[in-house]
Amino acid sequence: EQDNEDEFQKSFKEMISTLPKGNSWGLPDHLYQYQGFWLTPPFLQGVMLAQQQFEAQPTDIILCSAPRTGTAWLKSLTFATITRTSFDDSTTPLLFKMPHDVVPFMELDHAHFSANRHLGIPLLATHAPYSFLPTSIIDSGCKIIYICRDPKDTFVSMYHLFTRYAKSQNTQPIELDEAFELFCEGVSWYGPYWDHVLGYWNARLEHPDKFMFLKYEEMNEDIVLYLKKLAEFMGCPFSSEEQQKGVPEKIVKMCSFENLSNLEVNKSGKHREGQGNLGIENKIYFRKGKVEDWKNYLTPKMATRLDEITQQKLSSSGLSL
């Protein structure tokens, strides 16, 4: 097994050295362009390992998203919903573990996923573009939930995450203008952002019953409604008794930005501690949780430019963002 691993590492390093290299917004690891998308080596390697090793089962539920589009929120909502008969809002692991630690991440933790699956929590998250998903995810017919967000808020959120992350790594963060250019050109984590969204949007047409496509903004408008839809889609709808008791509302409250961001674990804990460059303070993940916060950072000219790219990229898709 060690030999296989060494062999994989060696060929991965060789392969990476042939790929186009991109500015990673001031972080130590460069971005590399592989099959149309920009990833840093640990994440690309994780995707490729998962492609080789991950065996999805029909009962698995894969939470997919580009970074900064509401992944942690989706993880906490689906986790709390699936585990609601084992825990309530005074015992849920979300009180002492951050959302990224209750749902494993395919690129880095898929090997631990089987333990959760045995416990009846078949949730696995990934930022991989649709075209990078292990074939077993498509072939097994498991369910896929995708969340996306207005590109302007996604960019602003990403910019803040990576400048705070760069500071914690003692590297020089880049300026907003420079990051904006890169984002527009598609050079961002798992970018181009629009191609990521379109990959899932188009795939959903082929497998409509296996797909749920969510927008951060729509969820914000009526989260209880969307939570009920999520529960139904996952095969564990809220009974009328649960609805009378206000269970969906309690889960929504538990998973709200206000509640999660004020929990001690999310204020002072650390994610992936001891994993080198991947270590990050939990609080960096929780910023404002608002719709249209871009208005505080982007000039009207920048906003128009992003809107134009969005319109152009999505023009024939029937999707608006």
Catalytic center residues:
127
Spatial separation of the C-alpha atoms in residues 127 and 196, rounded to whole Å = 9
φ and ψ of 285, to 5 deg = -75, -25
Question: 87: which 2 tokens?
Answer: 């825990």
* CA nearest to 109, candidates 31, 158, 191, 43: 43
The CB-of-188 to ligand A3P minimum distance in angstroms stands at 13
By CB under 6 A, tell whether 73 contacts ligand A3P: yes
Q: Of the two residues 13 and 288, which places its CB atom closer to ligand A3P in the complex?
A: 288
Q: Binder to ligand A3P among 24, 40, 45, 65 (CB under 6 A)?
A: 65
Q: Binder to ligand A3P among 24, 69, 163, 282 (CB under 6 A)?
A: 69
C-alpha distances out from residue 62 to 45, 120, 207, 274, Å: 19, 14, 14, 27
The alpha-helical segments, DSSP class H, found in 255-288 are 257-261, 264-268, 282-285
Spatial separation of the C-alpha atoms in residues 58 and 231, rounded to whole Å = 17
Q: Of the two residues 213 and 286, which places its CB atom closer to ligand A3P in the complex?
A: 286
φ and ψ of 49, to 5 deg = -65, -45
With contacts defined by CB under 6 A, how many residues of the chain interact with ligand A3P?
21
By CB under 6 A, tell whether 227 contacts ligand A3P: no
Stretch in the footprint of ligand A3P (CB under 6 A) among 21-29, 79-87, 109-117, 254-262: 254-262
Stretch in the footprint of ligand A3P (CB under 6 A) among 46-54, 71-79, 188-196, 273-281: 71-79
By CB under 6 A, tell whether 179 contacts ligand A3P: no
Site for ligand A3P in 291-320 (CB under 6 A): 293
Q: Which residues contact 91 (CB under 8 A, 6 or more apart)?
A: none
The CB-of-183 to ligand A3P minimum distance in angstroms stands at 14
| Site residues (vs ligand A3P, CB under 6 A) | 65, 67-73, 153, 157, 160, 255-257, 260, 285-289, 293
